[in-house]
Amino acid sequence: MALRRIVKQVTKLKFNVDIATLVTQTVDLSTFLKAAIAGGLVETLKGQSPLTIFAPDNEAFSNVPAGILDSLLNNKEQLTGVLTYHVVAGKHLAADLAKQNTLLTVQGDMLEVHEHHWLRHGIKINDAVVKDADLECINGVVHIIDTVLMPK
């Protein structure tokens, strides 16, 4: 357990930018950025309220069947529902997540939080593994995940 805490501390990064800027500057989140633009959520990611974003990386989006992804990108209402399912009000760092069982999303549904000691950051959100945790921004935190979460 001590080794995991050291890994978490080493990978914790603070950025003096808002979430939208961080996403814009992160190559592995270019598809998430495209979806946020299509869903009209960029201003929300620039907002003052602290948010926790579980951002699927490009590989996660590549695993979504093309027809479903294209359909989402062309349907703003559905896309907004999926994207806001990745957003939780407040700033929840990995250490905080490890103490949670569920989180209420901005979309209105619950995410399940699972702690797994064998994972790099020790956290799964639903079935998604947190690949990079605790990317702190001035208005919240981003956790990069390996799966696009779909509301139930």
pLDDT in tens, 16-56: 999 999 999 999 999 999 999 999 999 999 999 999 999 99
What local confidence, expressed as pLDDT, does residue 116 receive?
A: 75
What local confidence, expressed as pLDDT, does residue 121 receive?
A: 60
DSSP for residue 127: T
14: burial class by Cβ within 10 Å (0-12, 13-18, 19+)?
exposed
- The sign one gets for the Cα dihedral 97, 99, 105, 106 is negative
CB 15 within 8 A of CB 130: no
- Rounded Cα distance between 76 and 71, Å, is 9
Q: 2-145 falls under which CATH superfamily?
A: FAS1 domain (2.30.180.10)
C-alpha Rg value of the chain to the nearest Å: 14
Identity at 70, one-letter amino acid code: D
- Domain range list for the chain: 2-145
Given a cut of 90, is residue 83 above it in pLDDT?
Answer: yes
DSSP for residue 26: -
Tell me the pLDDT band of 120, cut-offs 50, 70 and 90: low
Of 72, 65, 145, 132, which is closest to residue 103 (Cα–Cα)?
145
Given a cut of 90, is residue 115 above it in pLDDT?
Answer: no
What local confidence, expressed as pLDDT, does residue 39 receive?
A: 94
Token reading at 139: 């208005």
State CA 54 to chain mean position distance: 1
